[in-house]
Amino acid sequence: MDNHIFGIHPLLEALHEGKIPEKILIQKGLTGNNFQKLFRLIRERKLPYQMVPVEKLNRITRKNHQGIIAQISLITYTPLEMVISSIYEKGETPLLVILDRVTDVRNLGAIARTAECAGAHALILPEKASAPVNADAIKTSAGALSRMAVCREREILESIAFLKESGIQIVACSEKGAKPVFETKLNGPLAIIMGSEDKGVSGACLTMSDEVVAIPQKGRTSSLNVSVAAGVVLFEVIRQREYNKITKT
């Protein structure tokens, strides 16, 4: 429970210290001046919260939670601008992975593990509709989430726009892609978008992408698991960058 904060005042202090909660649970019907002060701050910062019955809070802890339980990330997030600046200063070619509404912690962990193995510089996660970076995610990642940069962005579309302005190609992986990933040039500055487990990459992200690619499949199963798909695309990037075997440009 080390990554949980219980109570109104402790959470206010954490927010003023710059800590960003993964999720905030608020007891339904909670009132009072201190709560209103906290709730205004939560809404101003567009932090993810959920109104729940008190029984749910009581199942999490027997401490005096005052109707508030927040889950704080176990890692320190890195600003996206700092990541991009650092990559270019080192003279390296950016490789980033954007997760669009991936909500399963094990998929998050598995993608992080694969991305770190493939030499990706960072994962980019939205503040809302994203799996929390909790103990299960870190364990599934084999510690990769603690070793690589993770950016938690308020507006994912603004982040994509910033990456494009920074000279980075945006490639979305989707069943809707008309172009096979193996016939797409991936050896330049690159950010790969992987979509949610059930709905894939959102329409808004697809629209902002420079390329929408698909992974060719032979079997009758409708799609690959998102973590497996991420591995296919990431190691195609390695193949092109390291072995220069692009079949088409």
15-24, 70-79, 85-94, 152-161: range with lowest mean pLDDT: 15-24
Mean pLDDT for all residues in the chain: 92
Q: Give 1's pLDDT tier (boundaries 50, 70, 90).
A: very low
- What are the residue ranges of CATH 3.40.1280.10 in the chain? 80-243
The pLDDT of residue 34 is above 70: yes
Pair 49, 35: CB distance under 8 Å: no
Residue 199 has pLDDT above 60, yes or no: yes
CATH topology of domain 80-243: Alpha/beta knot (3.40.1280)
Q: Which CATH architecture has domain 4-72?
A: 2-Layer Sandwich (3.30)
pLDDT band at 235 (very low <50, low <70, confident <90, very high): very high
Short-list 74, 112, 80, 68, CA closest to 234:
112
Each residue's pLDDT tens digit, 114-155: 999 999 999 999 988 899 888 899 999 999 999 999 999 989
pLDDT at residue 190 in the model: 98
Q: Which residues contact 164 (CB under 8 A, 6 or more apart)?
A: 170, 208, 210
Specify the domain boundaries for CATH 3.30.1330.30 within the chain: 4-72
